[in-house]
Amino acid sequence: MAVPSPSGLLRGNALRLLRYLVLGAGLAAMMAITVPGLNPQSRSWLVVILWCCLGFFASELAIKSLTGAQAKAERNYFLTSSGIIDLLAVLPIPLALLIGVPADTAWLLVSLWLLKLAPAVPGLALLGRVIEQEARPLASVFVIFLIVLLLSAVALYALERTGQPERFGSLPQSLWWAVTTLTTTGYGDAVPQTFLGRMIAGTVMIFGLGVFGLWTGILATGFAAEHRRRDFIQNWDLVTSVPFLRNLDAPAVIELTHKLRRLDLAERNVVVRRGRPGDCMYFIASGEVEVKVEPQPVRLGAGSFFGEFALLDGGPRRATVVTTMPSTFLVLEVSDFRAFTAHHPELAKAVEREAARRRGTSEEEPLVGAQPASQIPEYRDE
């Protein structure tokens, strides 16, 4: 019941790249157009580029809405978050121009195109969850921040307004000083001059470091926990696709899932290089690799593993391994291998048995997945 990954026209990698290029070109053109003293010809060309980008997004929107309509989507495309983002990218600019907004200001709406990046950022949903989970402590720190902000602004207003009426002459001005100081930004446009004002300012700066520290700690802890959780879920699906690992008992699988690290590689990438020090072994979750051994290379497919010699005897890599198609690996570090096999010797034994077979000292059945194993004729080290 795995969720199928649809790869239609509009979701291909090439198209995604094109979309990012259009986005980049649009933003660059928008920035360039604001530079004063631009000659009229360059300006015309930049406007042409902007219209082209807008046209691209408009046609994308049209295709998506039509395709969605055909596909009997559960909900109207224009009500999904993706649809709203696409609409926000296309409509506001012509509308602004129509109602008479000056062109320079209207084109600033190009910055709305940035919203298209949001779904592509894997960590954005993660960040949203972290903020949701840690909402209460973050809110507490924020209220403390606000209280310190206001109290210090009031104090500085009372102390400095007579000496520097143009800097601290009103509470909003004093608040501006407070926010630049409490965040340790320190523009230096408003600086207290009285002795007491400087004492308070120093305390506010030190307090700023503390607020900052709390903020950092809460976000960092939450982010780390969420990330670990997501990795676990992704790894779990991969672990269960490797028969060799799936057959361990449940607590062992849990433990291993925490230790393994996912690695995605494109076609023709070198995974390990002969002669380099080896500090991990690889399980193939999907894809295929070629092991460059003599007399002829060997292919290993999904469910198989390699790189175990480095873990067993600590020597350098004995062969170069290259992917033959986009592949996903589960990487087990030597430290984790040792820690894990200390409690679960069955994994070490199975790996050793397979390694012995590959060295040619054993004639047992290979442990690797059934279909690629039949392609392994002579994977023996000299």
180-219 residues in contact with a second copy (CB under 8 A) are 180-181, 183-189, 191, 195, 198, 201-202, 205-206, 208-219
- Residue written as tokens 């057959």? 247
* 27 in contact with a second copy (CB under 8 A): yes
Minimum distance of a second copy from residue 250's CB (angstroms): 4
Q: How far is the CB of 268 from a second copy (least distance, A)?
A: 19
Q: Which is nearer to a second copy, 189 or 363 (CB)?
A: 189
Q: Which regions of 216-367 does DSSP assign to beta strands (E)?
A: 261-265, 270-272, 280-286, 288-291, 298-301, 305-306, 321-323, 327-333
Which residue of 77, 157, 283, 305 would you call a contact of a second copy, by CB under 8 A? 157
Q: Provide long-range contacts, Cβ within 8 A and 24+ apart, for 232-239.
A: 232/257, 232/258, 234/262, 235/260, 235/261, 235/262, 235/330, 237/2, 238/262, 238/285, 238/328, 238/330, 239/330
Among 80, 176, 322, 352, binds a second copy (CB under 8 A): 176
307 binds a second copy (CB under 8 A): no
Judged by phi (left if over 0) then psi (alpha if -120 to 50, else beta), residue 28 lies in alpha
Of 11-19, 64-72, 118-126, 291-299, the window that binds a second copy (rule: CB under 8 A) is: 118-126
* Interaction between residue 122 and a second copy (CB under 8 A): yes
Nearer to a second copy, 255 or 299 (CB): 255
CA 127 – CA 277 distance, rounded (Å): 37
249 or 363: CB nearest a second copy: 249
323 close to 266: Cβ distance less than 8 angstroms = yes
Q: 179 or 373, CB closer to a second copy?
A: 179
For a second copy, the binding residue among 11, 16, 268, 338 (CB under 8 A) is: 338
- Which structure tokens are listed for 103? 């062109």
Assess 16 for contact with a second copy (CB under 8 A).
no
Residue 13 or 363 having the CB closest to a second copy = 13
Min. distance of Cβ 261 from a second copy in angstroms?
7
151 is a site residue for a second copy (CB under 8 A): yes
φ, ψ (nearest 5 deg) of residue 321: -125, 130
Per-residue DSSP letters for 150-209? HHHHHHHHHHHTTT-HHHHSSHHHHHHHHHHHHTT----SS---SHHHHHHHHHHHHHHH
Work out how close the CB of 325 gets to a second copy at its nearest, in angstroms, rounded to a whole number. 22
The interface with a second copy within residues 232-271 (CB under 8 A) comprises 232-233, 236, 250-251, 253-254, 261
Q: Is 314 or 375 the residue whose CB approaches a second copy more closely?
A: 314
Q: Which residue has the tokens 């969720």?
A: 3
